[in-house]
Amino acid sequence: MWRMTEWDMTPQQRLAFIEQCIALGVTSFDHADIYGGYGVEGLFGEALALKPSLRSQIQIVSKCGIKLISGRRPTHTIQHYDTSSSHIVASVENSLKELRTDYLDLLLIHRPDPLMDFDEVAHTFQRLRSEGKVKEFGVSNFSRHQFETLNKRVPLVTNQVEFSPLHLDPMFDETFDGLQDLGVQPMIWSPLGGGRLFTAGDEQGERLRLKIKEVADELNRPFASVVFAWIMQLPCRPVPLTGSGRIESIEVAVEATQFSLSRPQWFEILRAARGHEVA
């Protein structure tokens, strides 16, 4: 939902969009308190209020821990992280109000905070769960060690990280290995490289585009579907996010659940992404 403020939809159109997603089997909606300059959660809540019965059919994810400089937050004087108990609780309370719901299905710490006290965060998570305000907890953009350190104190259900054929780090820095070992599914942001897979003019981007198109033609599937399928084929079972407000793009993402790449096709895309053979 990151860019919902840019979609220029009426509340009724936003509600229709949510219902169309549900009809496709897409029921999880990813938020953060800061999205849209602290404006997206309110837009989503306004739409949800038109049909409150939809709440039981969806999962709402939100994040906290970043303080932006914003006209909506006049006391913020520097962009910084805040994972103190008081801020996490206040952020959740505000998200619940904006989203017009009694609970979040999943709350994530948005970024690793150098001043984060793992025990304090774990205690705060446990408190929010006991109060019925948050069902499950996770993190975003954490390293393997950071994830495992917090996970020792309170069970985490995901680490939302950037990954795409243009950004392979989690595959090789133990992030995915560690999550697979724990049986935890990562969430993936920017799976299409923020659109760069369609537009990047550099050598890597062009090489990848040609190879993905070749595989898409072989499978008779849409280009983006092949990228989503390539990601979901990893054994840690990643859950990609799509940031589009176009239902047609979400249909293409959903199509990726209907097929798999052959192992040679999968490695052809990896080779194009890295520019060299695996050995």
Instruction: Specify whether the backbone of 260 is left (phi greater than 0), alpha (psi in -120 to 50) or beta.
Output: beta
Which pLDDT band, with edges at 50, 70 and 90, does 201 fall under? confident
Domain annotation covers residue 30 = no
Q: Which of 35, 38, 81, 103 is catalytic?
A: 35
Which pLDDT band, with edges at 50, 70 and 90, does 30 fall under? very high
Domain annotation covers residue 14 = no
Q: Are 18 and 54 in contact (CB under 8 A)?
A: yes
Domain annotation covers residue 9 = no
Per the annotation, the verdict on 38 as an active-site residue is no
Domain annotation covers residue 232 = yes
Domain limits for position 229: 162-279
C-beta atoms surrounding 28 within 10 Å: 14
Domain annotation covers residue 198 = yes
Residue type, 131: E
Q: What is the CATH number of the domain that holds 211?
A: 3.20.20.100
Domain annotation covers residue 278 = yes
Q: What are 88-130's pLDDT values in tens digits?
A: 999 999 999 999 999 999 999 999 999 999 999 999 999 999 9
Alpha-carbon distances of 148 from 14, 234, 276, rounded to whole Å: 37, 20, 32
Domain annotation covers residue 57 = no
Q: What total of structural domains would you count in the chain?
A: 1
Which pLDDT band, with edges at 50, 70 and 90, does 200 fall under? confident
**Residues for the chain: how many in total?**
279
Range 37-42 average pLDDT: 97
Backbone φ and ψ for 180, nearest 5 degrees, come out as -60, -40
Q: What are 134-177's pLDDT values in tens digits?
A: 999 999 999 999 999 999 999 999 999 999 999 999 999 999 99
- With vertex at residue 229, the alpha carbon angle to CA 240 and CA 219, rounded to the nearest 5 degrees, is 155
